[in-house]
Amino acid sequence: MTVIRDTGARAPLPPFGEEHEELRATARRFVAREIAPHVEEWEEAREFPRELYRRCGELGFLGLKFPEEYGGQGGTHLHDAVWVEELSRSGASGGVAAGLNAHASIAMPPIFNFGTEEQRQRWIVPGIAGERIGALGITEPGTGSDVASIATTAKRVDGGYVVNGAKTFITNGVRADFLVCACRTAEGGGHHGISFLVLEREMPGYEVSRKLEKMGWHASDTGELSFSDVEVPAENLLGEENGGFHLVMANFAWERLLMAVGAVGAMQRLLEVTIAYAGEREAFGRPIGRFQAIRHKVAEMSVLMEASRALTYHALRLFHEGLDCIREVTMAKLVTQRGLVEIADECLQIHGGYGYMREYGIERALRDARLGPIGGGTDEIMKEILGRQMGL
Ligand SMILES: Cc1cc2nc3c(=O)[nH]c(=O)nc-3n(C[C@H](O)[C@H](O)[C@H](O)COP(=O)(O)OP(=O)(O)OC[C@H]3O[C@@H](n4cnc5c(N)ncnc54)[C@H](O)[C@@H]3O)c2cc1C
């Protein structure tokens, strides 16, 4: 069969325009030169150097969407999305991307969006420079999906709060200097009784109880934290007391979008590596890519990738324009996270035994991808949100 070859050249897809392409190229070069070559060593060490935050801060990657007066680049969420997509597209492991993004894109936005000027100066300015590292603490040993049931308490006392409880699965939990922490401030108030306090690691009673071992994301630290009578001054309250559930939900939209964008980048990388491998590896006297079974797998994966990209960029455009986007963000999170697991698994299959070996990075991609349908809200919770959005 003869097919007419498409050159593959494309103009930037909306919501991205030419103005984002320069950043894309810079991010791609940086990740390929200063992150990708070290990924295996950092995975092995179970952490990447803290210095990487400073380096990313110095180059402006941690402050892309924050105003210049705080040391940021004065860009928008779209610039941040370019950076996150390029991290996974250009060879950062899931753990490296998670450690950088949990700080810049998940812990800092609630402080910036809901914090006072003084709070921005205290945490956003050094955060953008990569000098102080943040984490977001919502999940607890007893509750994850059911955010309204969190049990860590913050009791009002003269001048502030006394916090008792525990958090688990916290990305950057071990090395974080500050934790944007969901606490219960009203007994039995369900989602109305949650507030966010910024806890700092030097506060007496704040303890990192464990660094957790996990299936993937090896280069990121995932911590379990405990709080015993931690005295937190009133000026560390973010936004309104008992208004924290709104903050959780606002943050989830961005976190889920970034997970979708990162997955699209990872899909692209996996496909490129696998297509190259299928063109080189020979079996039965021809490259394996010439077998229809393999060609069809690649065709199906490329459709899944482009459909994922289209939905994700669509959700990103709505979000960027301040329009309603809960459905689209939820759909994008759902389809990309499960889709990436499927693609990583098929790419491993195409690599045969070599895919199972550490040196090709494909088995790592599969392990890293498996977190997607769990973190940031599970697949089941995404389906619940969607079903309810549709009136059921
Ligand atoms: C590596 C890693 C990093 C993480 N980083 C962070 C972080 O930085 N900060 C943070 O706060 N959290 C973090 N998390 C936690 C993550 O967000 C939670 O694991 C996730 O929200 C699910 O909560 P859970 O693990 O308690 O599962 P559970 O809520 O106990 O769910 C268990 C199972 O039950 C299903 N289930 C629950 N409720 C329903 C329902 N209503 N209908 C149908 N099925 C349901 C779930 O889908 C799931 O399959 C991280 C987790 C991991 C593994």
User: Mean pLDDT, to the nearest integer, of 63-82?
Assistant: 97
SS (H, E, C) 271-325: HHHHHHHHHHCEECCEEHHHCHHHHHHHHHHHHHHHHHHHHHHHHHHHHHCCCCC
Report the separation in Å between the CA atom of 260 and the middle of ligand 1, taken as the mean of its atom positions: 17
Nearest atom, ligand 1, residue 146 CA: 29
Contacts of 15 (CB under 8 A, 6+ apart): 78, 313, 316, 317, 320
pLDDT of residue 227: 98
Catalytic residue among 43, 85, 241, 255: 255
Contacts of 338 (CB under 8 A, 6+ apart): 372, 373, 379
Report the separation in Å between the CA atom of 43 and the middle of ligand 1, taken as the mean of its atom positions: 23
Report the separation in Å between the CA atom of 378 and the middle of ligand 1, taken as the mean of its atom positions: 6
**Nearest residue (CA) to ligand 1, atom 11:** 138
Q: How far apart are CA 232 and CA 229, in angstroms?
A: 9
Whether 53 has a pLDDT exceeding 80, the answer reads: yes
User: Mean pLDDT, to the nearest integer, of 47-61?
Assistant: 98
User: Mean pLDDT, to the nearest integer, of 262-289?
Assistant: 98
Nearest atom, ligand 1, residue 212 CA: 1
Cα 135 to chain centroid distance, Å, stands at: 12
Whether 376 has a pLDDT exceeding 80, the answer reads: yes
- Confidence category of residue 10, pLDDT binned at 50, 70, 90: confident
Please count the residues of the chain. Answer: 392
Picking from 276, 343, 273, 277, the residue whose alpha carbon sits closest to that of residue 308 is: 343
- Confidence category of residue 246, pLDDT binned at 50, 70, 90: confident
Mutate to test the pocket of ligand 1, among 133, 378, 383 (most ligand atoms within 8 A of CB): 378
pLDDT of residue 187: 84
Whether 299 has a pLDDT exceeding 80, the answer reads: yes
Structure tokens at 228: 């015993």
Nearest atom, ligand 1, residue 182 CA: 11
Residues with CB under 6 A from ligand 1: 102, 135-139, 144-145, 169-171, 214, 217, 222, 371, 374-378, 380-381, 384
Report the separation in Å between the CA atom of 371 and the middle of ligand 1, taken as the mean of its atom positions: 10
Whether 105 has a pLDDT exceeding 90, the answer reads: yes
- Most confidently modeled of 123-132, 237-246, 247-256? 123-132
Mutate to test the pocket of ligand 1, among 43, 145, 217 (most ligand atoms within 8 A of CB): 145
Picking from 37, 39, 29, the residue whose alpha carbon sits closest to that of residue 61 is: 29
- Confidence category of residue 315, pLDDT binned at 50, 70, 90: very high
- Confidence category of residue 357, pLDDT binned at 50, 70, 90: very high
**Nearest residue (CA) to ligand 1, atom 32:** 145
User: Mean pLDDT, to the nearest integer, of 232-247?
Assistant: 94
Mutate to test the pocket of ligand 1, among 199, 374, 379 (most ligand atoms within 8 A of CB): 374
* Residue 253, helix vs strand vs coil: helix
- CB-based contact 243:321 (threshold 8 Å): no
Q: How far apart are CA 261 and CA 272, in angstroms?
A: 17
Residue 214 to residues 83, 219, 308: CA-CA distances in angstroms?
A: 26, 10, 27
Report the separation in Å between the CA atom of 349 and the middle of ligand 1, taken as the mean of its atom positions: 28
Structure tokens at 283: 């079996």
For the question of residue 380 being annotated catalytic, the response is no
Report the separation in Å between the CA atom of 234 and the middle of ligand 1, taken as the mean of its atom positions: 30
Residue 282 to residues 10, 351, 361: CA-CA distances in angstroms?
A: 31, 11, 20
Nearest atom, ligand 1, residue 384 CA: 42
Nearest atom, ligand 1, residue 376 CA: 17
Report the separation in Å between the CA atom of 312 and the middle of ligand 1, taken as the mean of its atom positions: 22
Nearest atom, ligand 1, residue 377 CA: 21
Whether 1 has a pLDDT exceeding 90, the answer reads: no
Angle at 259 between CA 64 and CA 178, to 5 degrees: 60
**Nearest residue (CA) to ligand 1, atom 24:** 144
pLDDT of residue 247: 86
For a pLDDT cut of 90, what percent of the chain falls above it?
A: 92
**Nearest residue (CA) to ligand 1, atom 9:** 170
- Confidence category of residue 257, pLDDT binned at 50, 70, 90: very high
pLDDT of residue 285: 98
